Amino acid sequence: TMVDPKNNESSATYFILIGLPGLEEAQFWLAFPLCSLYLIAVLGNLTIIYIVRTEHSLHEPMYIFLCMLSGLDILISTSSMPKMMAIFWFNSTIIQFDACLLQMFAIHSLSGMESTVLLAMAFDRYVAICHPLRHATVLTLPRVTKIGMAAVVRGTALMAPLPIFIKRLPFCHSNILSHSYCLHQDVMKLACADIRVNIIYGLIVIISAIGLDSLLISLSYLLILKTVLGLTREAQAKAFGTCVSHVCAVFIFYVPFIGLSMVHRFGKRHDSLLPIIMANIYLLVPPVLNPIVYGVKTKEIRQRILCLFHVTTPTSDP
């Protein structure tokens, strides 16, 4: 333990992160594919940002929001993966309290920002399909920039109380966390004090951010569906084609997040590898898959990627 158990008001100075319990021998080798996925995520998202930035025809709201999503994906994966690699390769399991707090704040605030950007992308699709004549006037570039700034402010503001709520807690029992990085719901369970304030705060954040955003995204797509069903088949296919990538990104982000939250709320601590694996998936899979989904499903992005690597494509390619 990290503190004297006789002192019930002790504070943490460091925490111990874990790798993959029961797979200590194998985790050294498992780190190689994880590192490869991390590099794919960074390179894939940087490629998206580079293409959109250098191609003036892609300076539209949908692609600017995609750049924001790619930037956040890089930051989210980078906030956890280097330390995770250090755990797997060098058994560097100790993380100082302030470093844990910073990592926790980064992961949660960046996730809130990404949720806001996904909502903005849903609003962009709604205006483009349901009110196409107003799209250029509603989503101007200055307004898109303000939406991006609002996403940063919102994510930061929602997590601003987090350091206060964690620093007020005494830690006098175990200092061993159940993940390879710091999460609020994981750290607060180690406290030897009433954590109801932290639980209520966590629920408020989830409901006001993830809950509200997912509800508004669902509403956007219900309105889009209502409009699309009144179009011709050719127009329906075109409209659905512009939404497929975003729908995939929404599911890629929200499904692991909701699954991890459910495991933390209703699962037993240290009962299996499931929460650890889900936590790793939550932070790594979306950054890996989003560039692939947009690269494959979005014709404009796909063509620029092929040109970037000097691969020709038929003009009739759908």
Do residues 89 and 30 lie in contact, with contact meaning Cβ atoms separated by under 8 Å?
Answer: no
pLDDT digits (tens, 9 = 90+) for 141-176: 999 999 999 999 999 999 999 999 999 888 887 888
* pLDDT, average across residues 89-107: 93
In the chain, the percentage of residues whose pLDDT exceeds 70 is 91
Do residues 252 and 289 lie in contact, with contact meaning Cβ atoms separated by under 8 Å?
Answer: yes
Q: What is the CA radius of gyration of the chain?
A: 22
User: In this predicted structure, what is the pLDDT of residue 269?
Assistant: 53
User: What's the gap between Cα 285 and its chain centre?
Assistant: 9
CA dist., res. 277 & res. 34, Å (int): 12
Q: Which residues pair with 15 in a beta bridge?
A: 95
- Comparing 268 with 314, the larger pLDDT belongs to 268
Lowest mean pLDDT among 138-142, 188-192, 259-263: 259-263
* pLDDT confidence bin for 105, thresholds 50/70/90: very high
Tokens 């206060």 found at:
164
pTM passes above 0.75: yes
CA dist., res. 6 & res. 223, Å (int): 60
Measured at the CA of 85, the angle between CA 79 and CA 86, to 5 degrees, comes to: 100
Percent of the chain that is helix, strand, coil (3-state, to 5): 75, 0, 25
pLDDT exceeds 80 at position 275: no
Q: Which of 5-19, 233-247, 271-285 is most confident?
A: 233-247
